[in-house]
Amino acid sequence: MEDKVVVNKKVVLKHYIPDGPATESDMELVATDTLLLRLPPGSTAVLVKNLYLSCDPYMRSRMTKHDEPSYVDDFVPGTPITGYGVCKVLDSGHPDFKIGDYVWGVTGWEEYSLITSTEGLFKINHTNVPLSYYTGILGMPGFTAYVGFYEISSPKKGERVFVSAASGAVGQLVGQFAKLMGCYVVGSAGSDEKVNLLKNKFGFDEAFNYKKEPDLNKALRRCFPEGIDIYFENVGGAMLEAVLQNMRLNARIAACGMISQYNLERPEGVSHLFTIIAKRIRMQGFVVFDHYRSYREFEEKVVQYIKEGKIVYVEDIAEGLENAPAALVGLFAGRNVGKQLVVVARE
Amino acid sequence: MEDKVVVNKKVVLKHYIPDGPATESDMELVATDTLLLRLPPGSTAVLVKNLYLSCDPYMRSRMTKHDEPSYVDDFVPGTPITGYGVCKVLDSGHPDFKIGDYVWGVTGWEEYSLITSTEGLFKINHTNVPLSYYTGILGMPGFTAYVGFYEISSPKKGERVFVSAASGAVGQLVGQFAKLMGCYVVGSAGSDEKVNLLKNKFGFDEAFNYKKEPDLNKALRRCFPEGIDIYFENVGGAMLEAVLQNMRLNARIAACGMISQYNLERPEGVSHLFTIIAKRIRMQGFVVFDHYRSYREFEEKVVQYIKEGKIVYVEDIAEGLENAPAALVGLFAGRNVGKQLVVVARE
Ligand SMILES: NC(=O)c1ccc[n+]([C@@H]2O[C@H](COP(=O)([O-])OP(=O)(O)OC[C@H]3O[C@@H](n4cnc5c(N)ncnc54)[C@H](OP(=O)(O)O)[C@@H]3O)[C@@H](O)[C@H]2O)c1
Ligand SMILES: NC(=O)c1ccc[n+]([C@@H]2O[C@H](COP(=O)([O-])OP(=O)(O)OC[C@H]3O[C@@H](n4cnc5c(N)ncnc54)[C@H](OP(=O)(O)O)[C@@H]3O)[C@@H](O)[C@H]2O)c1
């Protein structure tokens, strides 16, 4: 592979976009840059071949220019989108990574990436599970489910758990973790196919298609006649408002995401917040980035669950970098069934 | 006092009222019932003379009929309003209370009350402070400030604290507790007179009249250029929405009350809730009733503070039971300056 120069196809953000939906045409595939597949002498970077790229909802926010720093950096128009991915190390100036290693972490939406910020990179310890799992169940979304459920929501056996966007990358795992703990678990999702997955593949006790429910409050009351102890919040807006009206005393809300708001010009108002007082609710926001010090503990536990067949995972795989923009945009229309990822190369 | 029969004036709720403002005319003073000022033999109740009655915002909710149980019981039309008060024991069948004791707790809006549920009653241990303080600084609102600040908001020295309805029964104390801890403290209130109290009597670092601020977000930014660590939430609605936009990383919201919502037919929507995630905010609702087991610890501490002059307290005193309805309704127009109470009798 020495001295090989390649054309490095990439997906770049064409321009910042205002609030509102992003579209495929806000990104473009360019194939003009070339790259020498070897690090310059003395570099401490890692040169990787990107195999799987992850499409994640938070990436939408990075496409908008923020006057004040947001919780994630804005993208830079004209340069490749960055995000999580699974990669193979082609060359390394960093002692933690060797040629031939598989790693996951922050990389570029391109065929090859020169990664200089290696703090965001984890060596993959288990290669006897699908490598793509490190974009999902064993990567950022999986770890999000783990932190949010076990650490933020303070679950107890027998509690009643509701998960929104329940068939997605994070939600399908939250539900399975909750079942493993002996909770009663209900999920909502945006199609009958997804509802079917929830009940028949992920073992949720109940599930409903929120798009077919004229009254979310009633749907929740039907599924939780005695109320909800834990809400794993992925969508926000009207769903949060309905959930608030169905909470039990001392309930917790693990505030993970509010995807229904990411594409709005002005976020919706949520009422019934007084319930937080009347029902002594703890609503706690968290961001997975703060918790990576316990990533390895999570990885071992979940690899074990996978091997024992205690947990399953559904992926939605787009083929080829050229299909990445559509895959990303599709998250906001619920086109993905399970974890949305993009295959750049399989090896 | 033996065998004395008195006419017992009382304030009764005339009828349940729907959502929306309560008015004085929803209550009325009646003076038809008589009462023998002695307990029947074998009674375990306590017969008291009511001295000071407390007007508290939560009482509004009790005037509406709820289909499902609310966090406080609905009043019963035609019977006296119940609420917190300071009373003198005239007769007692209960071992914890003796004739001549002063007590505070749940009593009726009437001259004399027969209290059968004595769990809600505390003997007053300190009679060398104004007895009326047991409706405020040493009673339910004071204890609310204590629990909400020290237990719910996890304060640390040097943190930036914002208190809404800051000159009221609860708020004036929260601010003073926060100053005692070495925090930077800002309060909002609804008149220049109250703002003046905050700055010049209670020692807040800054204060503003929210009714004169065209943009609450900007007012908060002015007072907290580096953001807010702790929000002691008393009002909800637009103020909460503005606060959310000014929170710092890992901020806490002690959700105590949302008085701006109590008189609305439909609660307002609050947007910018995504900040709870981006800033890793913990919003925690609490109700003081759950915490009374630590009341005595609070009482000793705050009596000490009062004696040492470390804490001051402002009361707004209405004279006579006949003025109680107006005093209660006045809370929702901000007519009270400091803790609103009603004197029924001074001894
Ligand atoms: N706090 C953190 O650190 C962290 C980390 C990762 C993810 N997250 C958050 O977790 C949530 C789930 O992420 P994920 O990666 O698991 O995504 P995902 O669920 O795999 O994909 C997004 C899903 O959201 C649903 N959705 C889209 N628009 C919606 C709308 N307007 N209303 C309701 N649902 C809508 C769609 O499913 P339906 O067909 O069911 O509508 C879509 O499939 C997101 O809010 C994300 O931002 C947070
Ligand atoms: N969680 C609990 O256990 C608990 C216990 C006690 C009290 N609380 C809550 O704590 C809060 C304060 O109670 P408090 O007893 O100290 O009452 P308070 O502040 O002494 O009296 C109420 C004050 O609220 C303000 N207000 C009224 N309507 C308003 C509106 N629409 N928008 C903004 N402010 C408004 C007024 O002051 P301005 O002139 O400043 O507007 C009024 O003086 C209330 O929300 C109450 O429900 C909760």
Report the CATH number that the domain containing residue A82 is assigned in CATH: 3.90.180.10
What is the rounded average pLDDT for all residues in chain A?
96
**Is A306 within the bounds of a domain?**
no
**Are B280 and A285 an interchain contact pair (Cβ–Cβ within 8 Å)?**
yes
* Pair of tokens at residue A162: 């509701």
Three state DSSP letters for A57-116: CCHHHHCCCCCCCCCCCCCCCCCECEEEEEEEEEEECCCCCCCCCEEEEEEECECEEEEC
A289, A307, A326: which is the final residue of a domain? Answer: A289
pLDDT tens per residue across span A326-342 = 999 999 999 999 999 99
Q: Is residue B304 part of a domain?
A: no
- The pLDDT of residue A1 is above 50: no
- Give DSSP secondary structure letters for B193-236: HHHHHHHHTS--SEEEEGGG-S-HHHHHHHH-TT-EEEEEESS-
CA distances from B220 to A39, B227, B239, B253 (A): 50, 8, 10, 15
Considering the domain architecture, whether residues A161 and A269 belong to the same structural domain is answered as yes
Band (pLDDT 50/70/90 cuts) for residue B99 is very high
Question: Do residue A51 and residue A128 come from a single domain?
Answer: yes
Both A13 and A114 in one domain: the answer is yes
Q: Are residues B338 and B253 in the same domain?
A: no
Burial A238-258 (b: 16+ CB within 10 A, else e): ebbbbbbbbbbeebbbbbbbb
SS3 A270: strand
- Residue A56 predicted with pLDDT over 60: yes
Per-residue pLDDT for B72 more than 60? yes
CA A22 from chain center: how many Å?
Answer: 18
Q: How does residue B126 score in pLDDT terms, banded at 50, 70 and 90?
A: very high
Tokens at B173, concatenated: 């104390």
Stretch A287-310: mean pLDDT, rounded?
97
Count Cβ atoms within 10 A of the Cβ of residue B193 and give its class: 0-12 exposed, 13-18 middle, 19 or more buried. Answer: exposed
Exposed / middle / buried, residue A309 (Cβ in 10 Å: 0-12, 13-18, 19+): exposed
pLDDT band at B1 (very low <50, low <70, confident <90, very high): very low
Q: Which of B132, B133, B75, B136 is nearest to B108 (CA)?
A: B75
Work out how many domains chain B is built from and give that number. 2
CA angle A215, A217, A218 (to 5 degrees): 70
Residue A309 placed within a domain? no
Q: Which ligand is nearest to the CA of A268?
A: 1
pTM strictly above 0.80: yes
How many angstroms separate the CA atoms of B127 and B101, rounded?
10
pLDDT at res. B2: 54
What long-range pairs does B24-28 form, CB within 8 A, spacing at least 24? B24/B325, B24/B326, B24/B329, B26/B63, B26/B325, B27/B81, B27/B324, B27/B325, B27/B328, B28/B325
Pairing type for strands A247-255 and A282-285 reads parallel
A280 interaction partners in chain B (CB closer than 8 Å): 284-287, 290
> Token pair for residue B344?
């029924």
Please give the average per-residue pLDDT across A87-113, as a whole number: 97
Question: Residue B295's Cα: distance from chain center in Å?
Answer: 15
Burial of residue B67 (number of CB atoms within 10 Å: 0-12, 13-18, 19+): exposed
The answer to the question of residue B187 being in a domain is yes
Do residues A247 and A277 both lie within one domain?
yes
For residue B288, which atom of ligand 2 is closest to its CA? 3
Mean pLDDT, residues A227-232: 98
Cα A314 to Cα A53, A136, A192, distances in angstroms? 16, 9, 16
Residues A277 and A248 in one domain: yes
pLDDT at B19: 87
Q: By a Cβ cutoff of 8 Å, what residues of chain B touch chain A?
A: 70-71, 236, 240-241, 255-258, 261, 266-287, 290
Instruction: Find the CATH number of the domain harbouring B225.
Output: 3.40.50.720
- Mind telling me how many Å the CA of B321 is from chain A's nearest CA? 29
Asked if the structure places residue B297 within a domain, the reply is no
Residue B121 contacts residue B292 (beta carbons within 8 Å): no
**Residue B333: exposed, middle, or buried by beta-carbon count in 10 A (0-12, 13-18, 19+)?**
exposed
Chain B contact set for A224 (CB, 8 A): none
pLDDT at A169: 98
Mean pLDDT of A51-67: 96
Are A13 and A79 in contact by the 8 Å Cβ rule? The answer is yes
Residue-level pLDDT at A62: 96
pLDDT in tens, B316-337: 999 999 999 999 999 999 999 9
Q: Do B280 and A257 touch (CB under 8 A)?
A: no
In a domain, A295, yes or no: no
DSSP lists the bridge partners of residue B83 as B107
Question: By the 8 A CB rule, do A130 and A139 touch?
Answer: no
Summary mean pLDDT of chain B: 96
B277, closest residue in chain A (CA to CA):
A285
Average pLDDT on B246-272 reads: 95
Contact B285 A280 (CB under 8 A): yes
Do A120 and A221 sit in the same domain of this protein? Answer: no
Between chains, do A274 and B284 touch, taking CB under 8 Å as contact?
no
* Nearest residue of A to residue B274, measured between CA atoms: A258
**Do residues A250 and A110 both lie within one domain?**
no
With respect to residue B208, please indicate whether it lies within any of the assigned structural domains.
yes
**Residue count of chain B:** 347
DSSP state for residue B238 in the 8-state scheme: H
Range of the domain at B265: 141-289
The DSSP call for residue A177 is H
Amino acid at site A137: I
Distant-in-sequence, close-in-space partners of A5: CB < 8 Å, separation ≥ 6? A34, A35, A36, A37
Contacts of B274 in chain A (CB under 8 A): 236, 258, 261, 267
**Rounded Cα distance, A265 and B3, in Å:** 73
CB B219 within 8 A of CB B212: no
Report the atom number in ligand 2 closest to the C-alpha of B285. 1
Between chains, do A273 and B70 touch, taking CB under 8 Å as contact? no
Annotate B129-195 with three-state secondary structure.
CCHHHHHCCCCHHHHHHHHHHHHHCCCCCCCEEEECCCCCCCHHHHHHHHHHCCCEEEEEECCHHHH
What DSSP character marks residue A2?
A: T
Distance B118 CA to ligand 1 centre (A): 51
Residues A119 and A225 in one domain: no
- B275 and B145, same domain (yes or no): yes
Closest C-alpha to B315, from B49, B104, B133: B133
The answer to whether position B175 is within a domain reads yes
Task: State which residue of chain A sits closest to B255, comparing Cα positions.
Answer: A277
> Which residues of chain A lie closer than 8 angstroms to B74, CB-CB?
none
**pLDDT (mean) for B95-121:** 96
Dump pLDDT digits (tens) for B275-316: 999 999 999 999 999 999 999 999 999 999 999 999 999 999
How would you classify the pairing of strands A102-108 and B160-163? Answer: unpaired
Amino acid found at B69: P
Q: Which residues of B touch A244 (CB under 8 A)?
A: none
Ligand 1 atom at shortest distance from the alpha carbon of A336 = 43
The pair of three-digit structure tokens given for residue A7, joined into one six-digit string: 């054309």
On whether both A121 and A202 belong to a single domain, the answer is no
CA distance A302 to A300: 6
Q: Which tokens hold the place of A21?
A: 């939906």
Question: Which atom of ligand 1 has the smallest separation from the CA of A56?
Answer: 15
pLDDT of A277: 98
Among B61, B94, B84, residue whose Cα is nearest residue B144: B84
**Do A152 and A131 belong to one domain?**
no
Helix or strand or coil: residue B12?
strand
Q: Measured in angstroms, how far is the CA atom of residue B255 from the centroid of ligand 1?
A: 27
Strands B160-163 and B228-233: parallel
For testing the chain A interface, which of B283, B286, B290 should be mutated: the one with the most A CBs within 10 Å? B283
Prediction ipTM score: 0.97
Q: Which of A71, A283, A286 sits opposite B283 (nearest CB)?
A: A283
Select from B256, B268, B283 the Cβ nearest to the Cβ of A269.
Answer: B268
